[in-house]
Amino acid sequence: MKLIIAAAALAVSSLALANNCPNEMKAIDAKLASNPKLSAADMGKVKALRAEGETFHKAGKHDESMKALGDAKKLLGL
């Protein structure tokens, strides 16, 4: 019974992450649209992490997507 509950919780959390990736991408895009003050190197990292996050999301790798998008948000100060 505990295994079934754990599996259900994992499935629900994965679905929550899958639905949140697009929101994270939108937040990054909105910040990028405001022309944040970042070095060229950091801007390149943010854009690469944002693209990586979208690629992972499309591949169904939502944990990896959220990690990349989270790293991009940190660089942007979000």
Q: How far is CA 2 from CA 11, 27, 30, 36, in A?
A: 14, 37, 42, 47
Q: Compute the distance between CA of residue 57 and CA of residue 55 in angstroms, rounded to an integer.
A: 5
- Tens of pLDDT along the chain (78 residues) come to 665 554 444 444 444 445 689 999 999 999 999 999 999 999 999 999 999 999 999 999 999 999 999 999 999 999
What domain range is 15 assigned to? 2-76
Q: What are phi and psi of 51, to 5 degrees?
A: -65, -40
Cβ-proximal residues to 75 (8 Å cutoff; 6+ apart), any chain: 38, 42, 45, 46, 49
Q: What is the CATH number of the domain that holds 31?
A: 1.20.1270
Tell me how many domains the chain contains.
1
Residue-level pLDDT at 59: 95
Judge contact between 68 and 53, C-beta under 8 A. Answer: yes
